[in-house]
Amino acid sequence: MIHSISGRVIEARAQSVIVSPGGSSAFELEVMVPAYWAATAAESRGRVVRLHTKLHIESINQGAAFSPRLIGFPTPEDRAFFELFTSVKGLGVRKALKAMAIEPGAIVAAISSRDARSLQKLPEIGKRLAETIIAELHGKLGSFAASAAGFVEPAVSPRGPAEEAVSALMALGQTRTEAEQSVTRALRGADDPDAWSADEIVTRAFAGG
């Protein structure tokens, strides 16, 4: 079992990264990553990262063949949430990775508050699946409570400069969900968020909030 890997990011793709373990060019691994971390992966190209991994055996051609897939997460907690998330009936590995377009803490907050509407905003999640996620996982999230702190809503509905900042981030390659989450983090803890210009919000978003 591959528990974690450390290596240099060689290439970032839409749903995976190519990592050279130990910084060596002797071999490279493709690691599937959740959607919320894809932007960070692209920014990490050329740098050494550590990914907490899970090995998944993927069925191909309706079970005629099987292929191992390595999935990586920035923290052990995110990996643990993914394992719980994929225990939901109808939520497979690839669908779950796409659905995790926002940080796990935001998803936990939505499930805890039984906010099916917010879950439906996630890729791959329709009304019925959102309701199933809440029914199966609500009450099982105790160990993830800390990750939900600060996420009153999984995404903002920005106006004014915040909306302009979202548009700017989308123009730079982020999805709307990623951009809204970046703005949420940037504005968290601000004394007077309405006083910030769009440029200031974008700058703070790229600085990590």
Residue 109 lies in a domain: yes
Task: Tell me the angle at which helices 198-206 and 176-187 cross, rounded to the nearest 10 degrees.
Answer: 90
Token pair in block for residue 170: 């989308």
pLDDT of 45 reads 84
> Do 142 and 165 share a domain, yes or no?
no
Pairing assessment for the beta strands 4-12 and 16-21 based on DSSP bridges: antiparallel
pLDDT of 157 reads 46
Per-10-residue mean pLDDT of the chain, 209 residues long, equals: 86 88 75 88 85 86 76 93 94 93 89 90 93 93 70 50 81 76 77 76 78
> What are the phi and psi torsion angles at 187 (to 5°)?
-90, -15
pLDDT of 64 reads 67
> Do 97 and 141 share a domain, yes or no?
yes
Token pair in block for residue 64: 């005629």
Residue 155 lies in a domain: no
Token pair in block for residue 71: 């999935």
Residue 125 lies in a domain: yes
Q: pTM of the predicted model, to two decimals?
A: 0.67
The stretches of the chain forming alpha helices (DSSP H) are 35-43, 76-85, 93-99, 104-112, 116-119, 127-137, 145-148, 161-171, 176-187, 198-206
> Do 181 and 126 share a domain, yes or no?
no
Residue 178 lies in a domain: yes
The tally of domains found in the chain comes to: 3
Q: Which of these, 65, 49, 67, lies nearest to 57 by C-alpha position?
A: 67
Residue 23 lies in a domain: yes
120 C-beta neighbours (distance < 10 Å), count: 15
The residue from 21, 48, 73 where one domain ends is 73
Q: Are 187 and 162 in contact (CB under 8 A)?
A: yes
Q: Is 195 helix (H, G, I), strand (E, B) or coil?
A: helix
pLDDT of 44 reads 82
Instruction: Give the distance from CA 126 to its chain's centroid.
Output: 18
pLDDT of 75 reads 92
pLDDT of 181 reads 79
> Do 91 and 67 share a domain, yes or no?
no
Q: Could you give the CA distance from residue 54 to residue 190 in angstroms, rounded to a whole number?
A: 37
Give the range of the structural domain holding residue 120, as residue numbers without chain letter. Answer: 77-148
Residue 192 lies in a domain: yes
pLDDT of 154 reads 40
Q: Could you give the CA distance from residue 37 to residue 99 in angstroms, rounded to a whole number?
A: 12
Residue 184 lies in a domain: yes
pLDDT of 15 reads 86
> Do 38 and 100 share a domain, yes or no?
no
Residue 60 lies in a domain: yes
pLDDT of 34 reads 93
Q: How far is CA 35 from CA 75, 115, 193, in A?
A: 15, 21, 27
